[in-house]
Structure 1
Amino acid sequence: MYWPGLYGSYLFDDYPNIVNNTDLQISALTVPDVTRAALSSPSSEFKRPLASLSFSANYFLTGLNPFWMKLTNLLIHLLNGVLTYTLALALIRNASSHTATTSNARDPRWIALWISAAWLLLPINLTAVLYVVQRMESLANLFVLLGLVGYVHARQQMQTSNQGFVAAVGSLLLASSLGLLSKETAVMTPLYAATIEWALFGARSANQRRDYRIIALFLIVLAIPLVIGLIWQLPRLLNSGAWANRNFDLPQRLLTEARIVVDYIHWTLLPTPKALSFYHDDYLVSTGWLKPWTTLLCAFILAALTALVIGLRKRAPLISLGLGLFLGGQLLTATILPLELVYEHRNYFASFGLLLALIPLLTAGSEHLPAASARYILLGGLLSLWAVVTISTASAWGSPLILSQTLAERAPNSPRAQYGLGYTYIVLSKYDRHSSFTTAAYAPLEKAMRLPNASILPEQALIMMNARMQQPIKIEWWDSLAAKLKARKASSQDEGSLEALAKCAEKAECIFDQGPMLQAFLAALSHPYPSARLLAIYGTYAWNVMGDRTLGEKMLAEAVALAPSQTPYRITLAKMLILQGRKNDADQEIAKLELLNLGGRLNADMAALRSLPETP
């Protein structure tokens, strides 16, 4: 079912993380190259080195061909399917051992198989497979699942022989550590394990007495880190500056996420192609309990589900556990962190919880629940629905043009979806002014430009397209770009757009006036606390295009001061100093680079700096 989608192309965040990430694209297995690749991810301060190395391995073996990248993702998904089967089987057997609600009339292996098969088919999990960069999510969850399987089996051993505590601790610590090397979501492993412990084991030993080792374990790996994390993050999150580049604040985010989490349930169990639109930047923000009114309703639904988690723990532990795992899976990405509001791949693990709650009900023996035939028909209908939506969506992902057209149709008010369609037309046009794709690109890009909360990506695409084709650039595109940068703090997409325009001008591929570009930079820098990346982009543009060496050096020095561990800024600053004949100052920067030269990853950069001629 996924096979047609393997023939598609890269999309959205694949470009900064993989396609345009030259540090990732290694040609030799040397320690410096591998180290540089491992630390190349621009998506996170933690760099996600294991996921980055997996992309590098793909590149080393097969280049940038997206087919092999996507096939690797599919194999990881299949392996995770095996792990969901193993985990589901262990959980079902444990639940069956101390309640009659879970039927003994059905072989637990069949129930686990249905859960795993359904999870593999779920359309909401498609982006974790075909969206290449979200290997970070699936790879992290591979270790999450391994850790939970190890923990449950260790706890089973403790129930019979009072041995296995070391294995339980090791499973959680090793899984969390390895998972974090792929994506931060693996930090949820102890919470999932604690939920399983609460629902099935009750922190009791083989003689049914309270096992204080288990309580101490979760105090150390869950409660204490949680408190430390809140103490560390809350002051920043309560500062309005943390939300400056979002179109919502903390209370609005919490209200909106209540609706989003309920939508996730709908999109998981009863998905529609329109709902699974990939781009959700047009999602309506809740500004009050009744704005929209579904906010309050969804808050009640979540409260009711939480009550079910607590109330059904003894009578129906699998339902309690499944709902608990689903809700727990939302705590990192759907609460107080200033992340984007909606992404389907955030349910990669959480969807397993919903299936764990639902499918045992649909497959239970008739002596426990009525209407067995109706339940099997319902299960068959759900599996068919999931299969149809997955294969139809995967087929669209197999063609960049069809996918862009499909996503733009599914989300007509999404700036990203409309931009994606326009960008696809630009790629297909190959900057030929006479191409029909060139003509087609203008409408979706100008539509995206005017939609609420749009970034400056559409304006950037329009300006670059016309500049490269030596066509007139509309002043309204520059005005719209500057107005957006003036109205709000630049987002990462805005900064990426400015960087693309600056590089295009630096390479002389785009010819346009410096005045509008300067106004764009000044608008972006008018907000407090500009990012190091924005300062570096402006400084490089000032040096290379405007010819203002003083301004260029000043901006790079500020960027280095803000982000001293970001080596590209320090390398650029050192180069500027050398080219001005200030060897002593440059040597100081190179000495600091030496301290950051882990595994020799900066050897080539420093050698290039030392070979530069001084031009006072």
Structure 2
Amino acid sequence: MDSIKKSLYANPINDRKLIRPVAYLTFAVNWYFGQGAVFGYHLINVFIHFASSFLLFLVISLLLKSPKSPYNNSPDVYPIALLSSVLWAIHPIHVQAVTYIVQRMTSLSALFYILGIYFYLKIKNTPSKRNQIMLLFGILISFSLALGTKENTITLPATLFLIEVIFFQDLKEKRTKRVMLWMSFSFVILLAVLGLTVFRDPLLDIFGGYKSRDFTLPQRLLTEPRVLLIYLRQLFLPIDHYFSIVHDVPLSMSLFDPVTTLPAMIIILGLIVFGITQLAIRPFIAFAILVFFIGHSVESTFIPLEIIFEHRNYLPSIFIFLPIAIGIQRLISSQSKYNKSQIKIAAIFLLVLFVSVGIETYNRNKAWATEFGLWNDALKKAPLNARPYQGVAAFYKYRKEYKKALKLYEATLSLPNISSLSRSKTLNNIGNIYRETGRWDLALRFYRNALLSDASNRLARINLATGLVKFGRFDEAMKHADMLARIANDDVRVLNLNGFILYKQQKFDEALIYFHKGIELEPLSQHLLVNLGMTLSRMGCFKNAAFFLNLAVKYHGMKAASYFSAIQNLSIFDKKAELNTMVDRLFTRFSIESIQLALTDASNNQDETVFDPEIVSCAITDRFNEFPHEFE
């Protein structure tokens, strides 16, 4: 149950800030029941998508029955609602929101968003004041759950306001127009207040976030209209070729670079203006257009997020197929009056439509079946983007196929217009390959080159400092560690690095300060628990050392290094009974072969560890020799 409680906070001890607690709570429950088995996560994601689709059907039905709808007494309500919601449900653009496990944040927040709309529409159709109050509480709870899942649902009041304006008010009356104007102003104030509440330190979040991006705020604002047109193409032309986890979208450097920038801005502005002008004439077209842009107003404007991601369309597109469904239903109804065979033709057409869209969705899911397949698919569709190369290369690196990985990283470096951030990341990854193959001289060279490309690359600087420790160049390593500490004194990796360098120099008192500060920021970090425990052990503080090392074993028992450190501490202080128990637990968790392999690896890389593999090996061997039959 601890994991469920801790899921509510970014840092459960020192930073009591809620970070999407509803979404993380569901992940924690999944972990509680199934740990790393992905079936349970996918099952919940599919259920959420099904529930959203069913709720969307109910919402569209209520919209079609609203007073200002031309279909409020029509038998076509349910066929239109069904067609619209099914087209939304099976669309391939939503694969990223449903199949990608972490994007439960997107699908679950949309479920609560749609539920809030449903409660609002029920209020409009409920004469009982008591029921209206209960439904109002339902809206507030749904809105709270949506915000607790993902922040882009802050736009729910704007969507509810739009529903009120289009489907429940007479826009031809002057008094209504004045009331709507004041309500619009009130909603803008409300959204501003909510924004300041939901987005912590908003100006810092917005402008500070661009420091870690390879684009600026103006470039993002200029590029997003082109991205929105890409989304619309994907929605109305659901062809597998158009879908990918990453896309080649050159940044817009000005209104005329590339030349599609200004036309894209004019088209988007034209669509918004068209939607506004059609509020009274073609309400469903206006509603679909305006909800789409309201839905994108958070993630596709000024906030420093990635330029393009398909899952961002999950919520904005909930009503996009409603006008299409209405058009198809009208066509079928008009033709069937004259020729009954038209109904059969229409049925065949709809069947072909559903099957075609379903096949494209199936193909997208096939691409998501494996990590290699996903990045390889992206590499074919976005050959000018660095991320697919890095993704496929990371797969080969994991499989220790270093030649293939290096070839892809080198291809990444030769890409035109590669950003300094991507170049630095790639050079750092090449350094890691040489590090893993024992060629530290080359590794250090690439880490230095990574920093020349982007001096703010913390990971490359940490790797460089760690490599310098291996060669005993402590002063130079400490210079890099101090540089990192000045700009990132709240980064646990930096604190751990400083402590590690001091530990290797046997400056245990000074190392202890850094490890303690790191533990305050991240209480359950495996590296910090082990390093702090071993530092205390070297200082002669057995009980304190045992406390932290036992925590490392408890929370990171899947890593042999946690056991090795605890075993060394018990061995040094001659705690025979506890030592035997810890070794027995080690053999219960790991095979003899994997233990030997881990010890050999630690012996070959002693400069990167804080425990002594020789002491640990002797303690394990003594226990094994004492009762060899127990470990067979």
TM-score, normalised to structure 2's length? 0.70
- C-alpha distance in 1 between matches for 2:472 and 2:42: 41
- C-alpha distance in 1 between matches for 2:376 and 2:304: 30
Of 443, 452, 456, which aligns to 2:407?
443
Name which of structure 1's ranges 61-70 and 474-483 shifts more when overlaid on structure 2: 474-483
Q: After superposition, give the CA deviation of every residue in 1:93-145 in whole Å (9 maximum; x if it has no partner).
A: 22xx3243x59665211111111111111111101111111111111221111
Q: After superposition, give the CA deviation of every residue in 1:506-537 in whole Å (9 maximum; x if it has no partner).
A: 9x9xx788789949956983995676355335
Whichever residue aligns with residue 5 of structure 2, its letter is T
Q: Is 1:106–1:363's contact at 8 Å kept on the other side of the alignment?
A: no
Of 445, 462, 468, which aligns to 2:436?
468
Structure 1 76/276 Cα, relative in aligned 2: closer, same or farther at 3 Å? Answer: same
Pair 1:120 & 2:89 matched: yes
- C-alpha distance in 2 between matches for 1:133 and 1:468: 30
> Where does residue 413 of structure 1 map in the other structure?
384
- C-alpha distance in 1 between matches for 2:379 and 2:11: 28
Counterparts of 1:520-531 in structure 2, within 5 Å, are: 521=480, 525=484
Higher RCO by CA contacts (8 Å cutoff, separation 6 or greater) = 1
Q: After superposition, give the CA deviation of every residue in 1:137-175 in whole Å (9 maximum; x if it has no partner).
A: 111221111111111111222xx5667542453233101
Q: Is 1:404–1:424's contact at 8 Å kept on the other side of the alignment?
A: no
Pair 1:136 & 2:105 matched: yes
Shift of 1:358: 3.0
- Helix, strand or coil at the partner of 2:326: helix
Larger radius of gyration: 2
- Helix, strand or coil at the partner of 1:319: helix
Of 270, 277, 282, which aligns to 2:244?
277
Of 486, 501, 511, which aligns to 1:542?
501
- C-alpha distance in 2 between matches for 1:41 and 1:231: 17
Counterparts of 1:425-504 in structure 2, within 5 Å, are: 425-427=396-398, 429=399, 431=400, 437-451=401-415, 452-453=418-419, 454=422, 456-470=424-438, 474-475=442-443, 477-486=446-455, 489-490=456-457, 495=459
Q: Is 2:20–2:149's contact at 8 Å kept on the other side of the alignment?
A: yes
Pair 1:404 & 2:372 matched: no
Shift of 1:349: 0.8
Q: Is 2:485–2:495's contact at 8 Å kept on the other side of the alignment?
A: no
Structure 1 335/401 Cα, relative in aligned 2: closer, same or farther at 3 Å? Answer: closer
Q: Is 2:10–2:17's contact at 8 Å kept on the other side of the alignment?
A: no
Counterparts of 1:157-236 in structure 2, within 5 Å, are: 157=126, 165-202=132-169, 215=183, 219=187, 222-223=190-191, 225-226=193-194, 228=196, 235-236=203-204
Pair 1:255 & 2:214 matched: no
Q: After superposition, give the CA deviation of every residue in 1:80-100 in whole Å (9 maximum; x if it has no partner).
A: 111111111111222xx3243
Structure 1 223/471 Cα, relative in aligned 2: closer, same or farther at 3 Å? Answer: closer
Q: Is 1:423–1:441's contact at 8 Å kept on the other side of the alignment?
A: yes
- C-alpha distance in 2 between matches for 1:216 and 1:323: 18
Name which of structure 1's ranges 104-113 and 524-533 shifts more when overlaid on structure 2: 524-533
Q: Is 2:155–2:191's contact at 8 Å kept on the other side of the alignment?
A: no
Q: Is 2:499–2:513's contact at 8 Å kept on the other side of the alignment?
A: no
> Where does residue 336 of structure 1 map in the other structure?
302
Pair 1:65 & 2:37 matched: yes
- C-alpha distance in 2 between matches for 1:121 and 1:219: 33
Name which of structure 1's ranges 320-329 and 526-535 shifts more when overlaid on structure 2: 526-535
- C-alpha distance in 2 between matches for 1:342 and 1:331: 14
Q: Is 2:8–2:25's contact at 8 Å kept on the other side of the alignment?
A: yes
- C-alpha distance in 2 between matches for 1:369 and 1:480: 69
- Helix, strand or coil at the partner of 1:354: coil
Counterparts of 1:17-36 in structure 2, within 5 Å, are: 29=1, 32-36=2-6
Of 150, 153, 162, which aligns to 2:122?
153
Unaligned runs of 5+ residues in structure 2 are 549-561, 574-632
Q: Is 2:241–2:381's contact at 8 Å kept on the other side of the alignment?
A: yes
- C-alpha distance in 1 between matches for 2:505 and 2:152: 43
Structure 1 503/519 Cα, relative in aligned 2: closer, same or farther at 3 Å? Answer: closer
Q: After superposition, give the CA deviation of every residue in 1:209-236 in whole Å (9 maximum; x if it has no partner).
A: 8999x95996599345257469985643
Pair 1:391 & 2:362 matched: yes
Shift of 1:40: 5.8
Pair 1:87 & 2:68 matched: no
Q: Is 2:465–2:478's contact at 8 Å kept on the other side of the alignment?
A: no
Shift of 1:461: 4.0
- C-alpha distance in 1 between matches for 2:200 and 2:10: 26
- C-alpha distance in 1 between matches for 2:200 and 2:123: 33
Q: After superposition, give the CA deviation of every residue in 1:273-328 in whole Å (9 maximum; x if it has no partner).
A: 34321024x53111111111211111111111111221111111111111111100
Counterparts of 1:365-384 in structure 2, within 5 Å, are: 365=331, 383-384=354-355
Structure 1 242/162 Cα, relative in aligned 2: closer, same or farther at 3 Å? Answer: same
- Helix, strand or coil at the partner of 1:392: helix
- Helix, strand or coil at the partner of 2:19: coil
> Where does residue 98 of structure 1 map in the other structure?
68
Aligned length: 531
- C-alpha distance in 2 between matches for 1:88 and 1:547: 69
Q: Is 1:397–1:403's contact at 8 Å kept on the other side of the alignment?
A: yes
> Where does residue 594 of structure 1 map in the other structure?
none
Q: After superposition, give the CA deviation of every residue in 1:37-69 in whole Å (9 maximum; x if it has no partner).
A: 443689x96332222232222223233122332
- C-alpha distance in 2 between matches for 1:164 and 1:461: 60
Q: Is 1:253–1:285's contact at 8 Å kept on the other side of the alignment?
A: yes
Q: Is 1:243–1:249's contact at 8 Å kept on the other side of the alignment?
A: yes
> Where does residue 54 of structure 1 map in the other structure?
26
- Helix, strand or coil at the partner of 2:320: helix
Shift of 1:467: 3.2
- Helix, strand or coil at the partner of 2:193: helix
Unaligned runs of 5+ residues in structure 1 are 1-28, 432-436, 591-604
CA RMSD of aligned residues (A): 4.7
Name which of structure 1's ranges 365-374 and 124-133 shifts more when overlaid on structure 2: 365-374
Q: After superposition, give the CA deviation of every residue in 1:154-209 in whole Å (9 maximum; x if it has no partner).
A: 1222xx566754245323310121123322233232222222222212399xxx98
- C-alpha distance in 1 between matches for 2:473 and 2:391: 27
Q: After superposition, give the CA deviation of every residue in 1:487-520 in whole Å (9 maximum; x if it has no partner).
A: xx44xxx65x777x599989x9xx7887899499
- Helix, strand or coil at the partner of 2:98: helix
- C-alpha distance in 2 between matches for 1:92 and 1:286: 40
Whichever residue aligns with residue 225 of structure 1, its letter is V
Q: Is 1:195–1:321's contact at 8 Å kept on the other side of the alignment?
A: yes
Pair 1:265 & 2:232 matched: yes
Name which of structure 1's ranges 397-406 and 246-255 shifts more when overlaid on structure 2: 397-406
Q: Is 1:253–1:336's contact at 8 Å kept on the other side of the alignment?
A: yes
Shift of 1:72: 2.1
> Where does residue 324 of structure 2 map in the other structure?
358
Structure 1 52/99 Cα, relative in aligned 2: closer, same or farther at 3 Å? Answer: closer
- C-alpha distance in 1 between matches for 2:184 and 2:261: 38
Structure 1 122/105 Cα, relative in aligned 2: closer, same or farther at 3 Å? Answer: same
- C-alpha distance in 2 between matches for 1:366 and 1:502: 68
- Helix, strand or coil at the partner of 1:82: helix
- Helix, strand or coil at the partner of 2:235: helix
> Where does residue 26 of structure 1 map in the other structure?
none
- C-alpha distance in 1 between matches for 2:532 and 2:485: 27
Name which of structure 1's ranges 349-358 and 544-553 shifts more when overlaid on structure 2: 544-553
- C-alpha distance in 1 between matches for 2:26 and 2:65: 35
